[in-house]
Structure 1
Amino acid sequence: MITLNRERGFEHVETWEEILQLPGFTLDLDPKAEELKEIIGRYMFRDKIACGLSVCRQPHGRGCIATTKSGKVTNIGNVCGKNHFGVKFDEFSRVFTQALTDHQNRETVASFQFRLDSLEAEVEELRTADRGADWVYRTTRALVQRNRGCPDSLVAAVGNMVRSRSGSIRVSRDATEEEAKELEVAAGRNLPRPQYVEEVQGVLRGLTCLYPEHDIREILVLDVEPNLAKLREMDAPAATSQELRFWSKWCGELEEKLDRARSAVEAGNVLLTRENLAQMFVTVHDPKQLTEFKKWLAKAVGS
């Protein structure tokens, strides 16, 4: 693979013959008689290419295309470049690498900007569709935040399930005497009464939509939407290396973020059904609170 920086920008060169035809190219450059001007390309081959320095001429699998102040051009292996041109070679290599990285990042961002209309429409549809992201996020708040319509005991139970990353609905009850003795055997000592055991009363499906990495608001409202707006205003040709690096990375991660948001919506629609959430009745022991929860359930998710 050969990458060359011409006047019109970076491009991939298909064959080594094109390099040999560059004006001023030589296969016999004396490093003692020449001073480097800049590095204009780099190459990496399975079949090695002879170094263009007259003091070397050994085959290299990777190296750079360099120009000198006299106008000559040659290829130099990485090790040879450092050995014969020292610090300057390293400096020119860093300049070329940074310029190439900026070019690649700039292309990524610029091509991404052409997709903004469709991406913004996709996010809007994901959020506002019937039982879409906005509905899922708004409705699930009552399950994880107090004073939003669900009993505190249920909110606590859901919180424990999220932290343990398990949908098992566990309910405590008094242990029987036989179970208490088994607990004493396991503990190796006498235990006070009463003792308690937990039983699994069901499995709450769709719980993954409440996991931190599936936070719909964090993904769509605080990250994706505002950053798409910033990208629309961004001048990619004038951006700094730091800006290009950040936005190229962000663009590369967007699809994964949207996938997480879609998964959260799908899981939310599984979670937010009456049949599924009715399993949580066993976590509410106060009759009045249970009645209130049933009212919320009917209003929030329907029958």
Structure 2
Amino acid sequence: MITLNTEKGLIRVDSWGDIQDLAGFEENLDPSDHKLKEILGNYTFTEKIRCGLSTCHSPHNKGYIVSTEDGYTTNIGQLCGASYFGVEFNTLSKRFDRFVTESENRATLREFDIDSVQQQVSELKAQEKGANWANSKLSPFKQNKFPTISKALSSMIKTRSNQLIITVKATVQEVEAIEAAQNVTLERPHYVERPVAEIAGLEALYDENDIRELVVIQLESNLNQLRDADINQLSYQDLEKWAKWVREVDSLVSKATQIILFARVFLIRENLKPFDRLGGSYDESSAFTSYIKQLK
């Protein structure tokens, strides 16, 4: 890929022949006879290109198109450019690379269809059993409204296991089997942990899957900020930040869609009913019963 800075702005060319056709192009330039003027472009190829300096000709994959003060043009690799033209080349190449990055990032933001993404986010929020619904229905678990259940969920999330485990009094046969296997004597009563159900959609509660954080902050808030920004006045750092975010938008929307699907599976009455077996206080049990009754 070749990037050239022209009077019409940055352009891309694919053929090395286009470089060889540039005015004053010289494939055998003696750097001792010429003074570097500016960098006209850069290039990256899978196949190596021979350096245009007569004292080098080293093959390289990445380099620059440069012009001299007396009107010649040639190509040089980054290392040989620094070797033969020193600090001046390093300064010009860094400036050019920064200019290219800034121009590409600004173009990315100008081409970004903010209205289309805004519409997608609005639909994600407002649709039946969408982001707003998921956030509302998941919030009791995140706000510890059901302490016993939240404790169990926290353990399941930590281990990334969808197995709901309860602690129950071991039977006589279980105690005897443990004692025989481990050659120990256990106190009575003895308690064991037992898996009682597989809870689907647990991913909806993973910390990295916070639907409100994703939709309201990472998507909606950023869309509003970018809409209000003057792209022409953004700093290099802001352009870099926003261009990176724009390139990630599709994956963020896809992630939000997937989290909503997790929530729809998790927030089903039959899926949550096994948590009744954890016990808890009367008030907690009553509150949880009331909660799952309004789920389908």
**Scaled by the length of structure 2, what TM-score is found?**
0.90
Equivalent residues of 2:67, 2:74 under 8 A apart: yes
What is the CA deviation profile of residues 109-144 of structure 1, one whole-angstrom value per residue up to 9, with x for unaligned ones? 2211xx111111111110111111111111111123
Change (3 A) 1:227 1:287: closer
Q: Please, which of 181, 198, 201 is the counterpart of residue 203 of structure 1?
A: 198
1:106 maps to 106
Change (3 A) 1:106 1:296: same
1:93 maps to 93
Alignment of 1:141 onto 2:139? yes
After the TM superposition, which of the residue ranges 285-294 and 165-174 deviates more from structure 2?
285-294
User: How large is the RMSD of aligned CA atoms in angstroms?
Assistant: 2.3
1:172 maps to 167
Secondary structure of the structure 2 residue equivalent to 1:32: helix
Q: Please, which of 124, 127, 130 is the counterpart of residue 125 of structure 2?
A: 127
Secondary structure of the structure 1 residue equivalent to 2:31: coil
Q: Please, which of 289, 293, 296 is the counterpart of residue 294 of structure 1?
A: 289
**Structure 1: which amino acid aligns with 2:15?**
T
Secondary structure of the structure 1 residue equivalent to 2:196: strand
Aligned equivalents of 2:142, 2:56: Cα separation in 1: 70
The alignment covers a number of residue pairs equal to 296
Aligned equivalents of 2:97, 2:176: Cα separation in 1: 71
**Structure 1: which amino acid aligns with 2:118?**
E
Aligned equivalents of 2:149, 2:57: Cα separation in 1: 76
Equivalent residues of 2:162, 2:202 under 8 A apart: yes
Aligned equivalents of 2:111, 2:284: Cα separation in 1: 55
Aligned equivalents of 1:183, 1:248: Cα separation in 2: 60
1:259 maps to 254
In the TM superposition, what is the alpha-carbon distance from 1:184 to its structure 2 partner? 4.7
Q: Please, which of 149, 153, 169 is the counterpart of residue 154 of structure 1?
A: 149
Q: Please, which of 264, 267, 270 is the counterpart of residue 265 of structure 2?
A: 270
Identity of aligned residues (%): 36
**Structure 1: which amino acid aligns with 2:134?**
V
Change (3 A) 1:236 1:204: same
Secondary structure of the structure 2 residue equivalent to 1:71: coil
Secondary structure of the structure 2 residue equivalent to 1:79: helix
What is the CA deviation profile of residues 206-227 of structure 1, one whole-angstrom value per residue up to 9, with x for unaligned ones? 1111111110011011221110
In the TM superposition, what is the alpha-carbon distance from 1:204 to its structure 2 partner? 1.3
In the TM superposition, what is the alpha-carbon distance from 1:286 to its structure 2 partner? 4.6
Secondary structure of the structure 1 residue equivalent to 2:247: helix
In the TM superposition, what is the alpha-carbon distance from 1:89 to its structure 2 partner? 1.5
Change (3 A) 1:90 1:183: farther
After the TM superposition, which of the residue ranges 51-60 and 71-80 deviates more from structure 2?
51-60
Could you tell me which runs of 5 or more consecutive residues in structure 1 were left unpaired when the two chains were aligned.
none
**Structure 2: which amino acid aligns with 1:208?**
E
Change (3 A) 1:171 1:40: same
1:282 maps to 277
Equivalent residues of 1:213, 1:260 under 8 A apart: no
Equivalent residues of 1:144, 1:158 under 8 A apart: no
**Scaled by the length of structure 1, what TM-score is found?**
0.88
After the TM superposition, which of the residue ranges 63-72 and 268-277 deviates more from structure 2?
63-72
Aligned equivalents of 1:167, 1:47: Cα separation in 2: 50
2:32 maps to 32
After the TM superposition, which of the residue ranges 152-161 and 45-54 deviates more from structure 2?
45-54
Aligned equivalents of 1:284, 1:38: Cα separation in 2: 76
Secondary structure of the structure 1 residue equivalent to 2:192: strand
**Structure 1: which amino acid aligns with 2:242?**
W
What is the CA deviation profile of residues 50-75 of structure 1, one whole-angstrom value per residue up to 9, with x for unaligned ones? 43323334555442111122332222
Change (3 A) 1:264 1:23: same
Change (3 A) 1:22 1:133: same
What is the CA deviation profile of residues 253-292 of structure 1, one whole-angstrom value per residue up to 9, with x for unaligned ones? 2222222211111111111111111122111255564344
Aligned equivalents of 1:159, 1:49: Cα separation in 2: 57
Equivalent residues of 2:147, 2:284 under 8 A apart: no
After the TM superposition, which of the residue ranges 173-182 and 185-194 deviates more from structure 2?
185-194
1:41 maps to 41
